[in-house]
Amino acid sequence: MTEAITEWQDRLARCRGVLVDSNVLLDVATSDPGWGDWSARTLAEAAEYTTLVINPIIYAEVSIAYTTIEALDAALPEALYRRDPLPWEAGFLAGKSFLRYRRRGGLRTSPLPDFYIGAHAAVRGLALLTRDASRYRSYFPTVEILAPAGRLI
């Protein structure tokens, strides 16, 4: 068991599942030399303690690593990844979080997928497994962020 998951067991018990960010899934799909092992181990261990969840935005982002929908579906089997729709409330929260981002000097002109992903986790009481924790922590402070210690993007 990784050191990180040992600390997460109690935190995971308070959540309704773990929304898995696309960066973790893409690390595994592409055998990323810097993150592939960490992402694969952490994902497997998280699955032992709670339900793994994806949404249509994560599904779309991960699809870039696959040439067919069948290959993507084989990599993200419904038996392992619960597929949740994006809640309407998450759209509202994503918009408000994006507005704060813009007011703080953010340059993007349309809401980033990360805002929808973070809002989905916040609205549904999901933890978020990611290795890009900074934006989520800044804009979604109520979300339980599961990220590598010390080595963030």
What are the beta bridge partners of residue 70? none
Give per-residue pLDDT as tens, 31-67.
999 999 999 999 998 998 899 999 999 999 999 999 9
Strand, helix or coil for residue 19? strand
pLDDT of residue 6: 55
Give per-residue pLDDT as tens, 76-101.
999 999 999 999 999 999 999 999 99
For residue 153, what are its two tokens?
């993007």
What confidence tier does 153 reach under pLDDT thresholds 50, 70, 90?
very low
Report yes or no: 87 and 124 within 8 Å, Cβ to Cβ: yes
For residue 94, what are its two tokens?
């994503």
Does the predicted model carry a pTM greater than 0.85? yes
Q: Compute the distance between CA of residue 119 and CA of residue 136 in angstroms, rounded to an integer.
A: 9
Quick check: 12 pLDDT over 60? yes
Give per-residue pLDDT as tens, 96-151.
999 999 999 998 887 789 999 999 999 999 999 999 898 899 999 999 999 987 64
Q: Compute the distance between CA of residue 120 and CA of residue 126 in angstroms, rounded to an integer.
A: 8
Q: Give the β-pairing of 145-146 and 18-20.
A: unpaired
Quick check: 3 pLDDT over 60? no
Per-position b or e across 44-65, b if 16+ CB within 10 A of its CB: ebbeeebbbbbbebbbebbbee
